Amino acid sequence: MILEHNVPLQPYNTFGIAARAEALVRVRSESDIHAVLKDVQLLKLPRQVLGGGSNIVLTGDVKGLVLKMEVAGLHLAGETDKAWIVEAGAGERWHDLVAWSLAHGYPGLENMALIPGTVGASPVQNIGAYGVELQDRFHELDAMDLFTGEVFTLNAAQCGFGYRDSVFKHASHGPEDLGLAGRAVILRVRLALPKKWKPELGYLDLERKMTETGIANPDARTIFDWVCQIRSAKLPDPAVIGNAGSFFKNPTVTPEQCADIIAREPKVVHYPMPDGSVKLAAGWLIDACGWKGKTVGHAGVYDKQALVLVNRGTAEHPCTGGEVMTLARAIQTSVYERFGIRLEPEPVVI
């Protein structure tokens, strides 16, 4: 077990916020967590799990122990009649898994290319992009109980996937409650990649690429390249400008609420959902309130996509998590005042 104290977390969160962890253990295998569970001093500390740090806002130093997930490994774990089963360690970069599986002849993840973060974080918020979500390709995962050290396997139903949601985002409130936040950590994820690959092109940005290029039947590699191009044009690269991807979830409203908003704002971008509700584009709502490109303190709204909050701090005046949350609350207030809709932040605030 490698234990470090007073560790700077700035390199480990894509927002690039300066904060420190009281203690940090790099988890490369199950035995590192077992060692923590046997250490009486470490056992007393509260625990936080850190993956790629691409979906968190640090509002201060982290008291207690950070488990930094670095479990490695990418391999073909098996096959069924219909699918290749690819397994990846929680500490692998998600995009590396997408590129590796494509290069080895197991396509199916290309729509989710360039999503920042690690494999272990991907089920936590059921990541998704361009018409495909993790749950569409998910087989099962291995996790460890952080109290007993026991390793267990969960299938998709047991993960309770929803829109940017899973059991790993919910705290447990009793023995009947399946919430696993703070209770378990994901070690490995297995994906089922269909042997009969079909392109997923039902998303406006991809349809535009088909028209532009004249390619009507793109292969997986072409879709991978298109998604990389679309994302790089629209979303800031965290290595250049700190951010945590979409900062708010796209809100869901009833058809009546939507009709009411359309009556006032005919251009509102909305998508009818299979369950009869309507999803609104949060980026459009924020943009309509005039926030695109604005800066408050050292936090800002990205100038090409209003749904992304960015770090506009400098070495002398770094952006704090408090500034990010102040900006987020100001945006929530103005969207509520204008549209009567409460935006819910997407990253985990620590």
- At residue 158, the 3 state secondary structure works out as helix
Q: What order of strands is seen across the sheet that includes strand 184-194?
A: 74-79, 83-89, 184-194, 138-145, 151-155
Should residue 126 be labelled a site residue for ligand EPU when binding is judged by CB under 6 A? no
Region 328-347 residues binding ligand EPU, contact defined as CB under 6 A: 346
Piece of 25-33, 57-65, 142-150, 301-309 that binds ligand EPU (CB under 6 A): 301-309
Piece of 82-90, 243-251, 256-264, 331-339 that binds ligand EPU (CB under 6 A): 243-251
Q: How far is the C-alpha of 210 from the C-alpha of 226, rounded, in Å?
A: 9
Residue 26 bridge partners (DSSP): 2, 68
- Please, what is the minimum distance in Å from the beta carbon of residue 309 to ligand EPU? 11
- The binder of ligand EPU chosen from 28, 170, 249, 294 (CB under 6 A): 249
Transcribe 36-55 into DSSP letters.
Answer: HHH-HHHHTS-EEEESSS-S
Which residues lie below 8 Å from residue 279, measured CB to CB, with a gap of 6+?
250, 251, 252, 270, 271, 273
Give 132's Cβ-side CA count (13 Å radius): 23
Burial class (CB in 10 A: 0-12, 13-18, 19+), 186: buried
- Please, what is the minimum distance in Å from the beta carbon of residue 121 to ligand EPU? 11
Q: Give catalytic residue positions.
A: 164, 246, 346
- The binder of ligand EPU chosen from 145, 284, 318, 326 (CB under 6 A): 284
Q: How many CB atoms lie within 10 A of CB 150?
A: 10
Should residue 165 be labelled a site residue for ligand EPU when binding is judged by CB under 6 A? no
Should residue 287 be labelled a site residue for ligand EPU when binding is judged by CB under 6 A? yes
- Please, what is the minimum distance in Å from the beta carbon of residue 231 to ligand EPU? 7
42 alpha carbon, distance to own chain's centre: 28
Q: How far is the C-alpha of 217 from the C-alpha of 235, rounded, in Å?
A: 26
Should residue 181 be labelled a site residue for ligand EPU when binding is judged by CB under 6 A? no
Token match 């089920």: residue? 123
Q: How far is the C-alpha of 198 from the C-alpha of 107, rounded, in Å?
A: 9
Q: Where are the alpha helices (DSSP H) in 275-342?
A: 282-288, 321-339
Q: Which is closer to ligand EPU, CB of 87 or CB of 110?
A: 110
Should residue 292 be labelled a site residue for ligand EPU when binding is judged by CB under 6 A? yes
Whole-number CA gyration radius for the chain = 21
Should residue 327 be labelled a site residue for ligand EPU when binding is judged by CB under 6 A? no
By C-alpha distance, which of 219, 348, 232, 332 is closest to 286?
332
Binding mask 71-110 for ligand EPU (x = CB under 6 A): ----------------------------------------
Q: Which is closer to ligand EPU, CB of 24 or CB of 99?
A: 99
Should residue 122 be labelled a site residue for ligand EPU when binding is judged by CB under 6 A? no
Binding mask 254-283 for ligand EPU (x = CB under 6 A): ---------------x-----------x-x
- Please, what is the minimum distance in Å from the beta carbon of residue 249 to ligand EPU? 5
Interface positions with ligand EPU (CB under 6 A): 129-130, 234, 245-246, 249-250, 269, 281, 283-284, 287, 292, 305-307, 346
